[in-house]
Amino acid sequence: MRRDVSRRTRAKRPVAARRRETRLGLVAALLASLLIAPDAAADAPTVDTTGASQCKARGFSTDTDPNGTNVRSAPRAGASVIGRLSPRARLGPDVYEGVEFEIVGSKDGWLLIQNADPAADFKLDAAHAADGRGWISGKLAGVTLGSEPFRAAPRRDAAIVAHLSGKNWGPDSFGVTVVHACQGGYVEVTGTPNGGKPLRGWSWRPCSNQLTTCDRSDWND
């Protein structure tokens, strides 16, 4: 009898031990998940805005590449691609319309954009979708000017580089080729006035209208 009881006792001990180990393992796994979660959140991809200017303006894509425009995580060509803007569409002879967006920052010739219209034409990967922002080259963006004074700096008291008006033409006829930077409500661009030579300067509150002129009833620099 003693031998039989001893055997039964020894047979039960490993099972109990395994149960204890299982419970301890679950507790350890739970604690580990609680410790790892904050680190994982800290390591989540973010859009680099270090040193970027802040602004509030609207622009549009001028890129006709069938593959669309690369949207990057930082203001440089080597940064990872996190999304894409749809290509500028041709509506007719010499008539194009690109995706519109808000410009909220700039750095080194790159523009930080968000809130595209149509929204479906601005796609970001899953890791950056919640942020909603990304960088594009200012060489692939345009704006429509609405202010007649073209200034040397982003200030209302800055020297005037040119007056963008003439017989039968105004600021909206200024053909913007590059958007270099932005600051507050100003955007720095290079473009060509009607019948003139290329100029670089700052313009107050351009718009993203591509088929009509900007509404300047609220304010003019």
User: What tens digit of pLDDT does each residue of 26-67 get?
Assistant: 445 434 443 434 443 345 568 999 999 999 999 999 999 999
Which has more pLDDT, 42 or 108?
A: 108
- pLDDT at residue 216 is higher than 90: no
Which phi and psi angles does 41 have, rounded to 5°? -65, -40
Mean pLDDT of the chain: 85
The three-point CA angle 7-13-16 to 5° equals 145
β-sheet with 81-85: strand ranges across: 122-124, 81-85, 69-72, 133-137, 110-117, 100-107, 53-61, 141-142
Which has more pLDDT, 199 or 46?
A: 199
Please give the pLDDT value at position 3: 45
What pTM value is reported for the model? 0.79
Each residue's pLDDT tens digit, 165-183: 988 899 999 999 999 999 9
Counting runs of H as helices and runs of E as strands, what totals does the chain give? 1, 15
Helix %, strand %, coil % of the chain (to 5)? 25, 40, 40
Report yes or no: 174 and 193 within 8 Å, Cβ to Cβ: yes
Write the single-letter amino acid at 146: G
Share of the chain above pLDDT 70, in %: 77
Which spans in the chain are helix H? Answer: 2-42
Please give the pLDDT value at position 218: 59
The three-point CA angle 134-132-91 to 5° equals 75
The neighbouring-strand residues paired with 102 are: 58, 114
